Amino acid sequence: MNSVLVVGATGNVGRQVVDGLVAEGVSTRALARDPGAAVFPEGVEVVAGDLAVPESLAAAADGVESVFLVWPFHDTQGAAEVLKVLGEHAQRVVYLSSTTVNDEGPQSDLIPQRHAEIEALLAESGMPWTVLRADTIASNMLGWAGQIRAGDVVRGTEVAPTAVVHEGDIAAVAVRLLTDHSHTWRKYLVTGPRVVSRDDQVQAIAEVLGRPLRFEALPLDVARESMTAAGLPAALIESLLSMAAFRPRSDLITTTVADLTGRAARDIREWAADHAAVFR
């Protein structure tokens, strides 16, 4: 049976990858900067490690067949070193990337630029890889919870519509890719079932809460001031603003979730129902 190290195991996608692997009976390690504070299902081996300290990954990755890799930083500093360590101790990597990556030309904004750079480093590393390019992740909506609990208006940057995908569907596809080596050297694009705007997402939450909500787009200069006042890191602010300013609408819809898991991708209304308690 395949053994897997999950990097980003405490995140919205990574935690569900861990749960999915455990449900499949896969020997699973979960990487955590503070193993003592991490809580995972019985049978998961929690191992210490930090992507910012590449050498700390050696013991965590030693002997595993596959690594699920999430890159949480806003630049690629240290990525080559991380991939070198993983390549010395594990057999392959499944990297969580973005459907916004453009293989044919320049990238639209800073986020796909970073993912494209990581994909290039992965290809250069010589380590067997699979790339899982996900569309906008539905769990990003959790960032609106405070505004929704406090009032009826969600204020934020407007972003071009896209086929938002449930993080659980991303995780389910990842489990298939991690446990079947026939997917090596391939790229998979994962989307939700329909293209939606930010207002569509807010309305999905409004429907499950049974009260009116509306989305109010902030001018970019106002959004910058708001995010700066909230204490967001400067690199994150620049990434979010570049996405709002330059990313084009995407009409991409794929059947990857159904093809690899046997069930259709879930709509944002299902996501809202799954997470309704967070917004109440």
CA distances 87 to 66, 98, 121, 163, Å, are 10, 22, 12, 33
Domain assignment present for 154:
no
Q: What is the pLDDT of residue 1?
A: 53
User: Does a structural domain hold residue 103?
Assistant: yes
C-alpha 235/C-alpha 252 separation (Å) is: 28
| CA atoms of 214 and 206, how far apart (whole Å) | 8
Contact indicator for 30, 18 with CB cutoff of 8 Å? yes
At residue 2, the pLDDT reads 80
262 within domain boundaries: yes
Give pLDDT, residue 38. Answer: 87
Domain span at residue 93 reads 3-135+164-192+252-266
Task: Identify the helix (H) or strand (E) that includes residue 45.
Answer: strand 45-48
Q: How many CA atoms are closer than 13 Å to the CA of 12, on its beta-carbon side?
A: 17
| Residue 244: inside a domain | no
The answer to whether residue 218 sits within a structural domain is no
Residues (pLDDT < 70) of the chain are 1
Instruction: Specify the pTM.
Output: 0.96
Token pair for residue 172?
């389910």
Give the separation between CA 26 and CA 23, rounded to whole angstroms.
Answer: 8
- Please report whether residue 214 resides in a domain: no
Q: Which two tokens stand for residue 122?
A: 């992965």
Q: What is the CATH number of the domain that holds 71?
A: 3.40.50.720
Q: What local confidence, expressed as pLDDT, does residue 107 receive?
A: 96
Whether 92 maps to a domain, the answer reads yes
Q: Rounded to whole angstroms, how far apart are CA atoms 14 and 231?
A: 25
**Structural domain includes residue 86:** yes
Domain total in the chain: 1
Measured CA to CA in angstroms, residue 109 lies from 21, 69, 183 at distances of 33, 22, 28
Q: Residues 235, 74: contact at Cβ < 8 Å?
A: yes
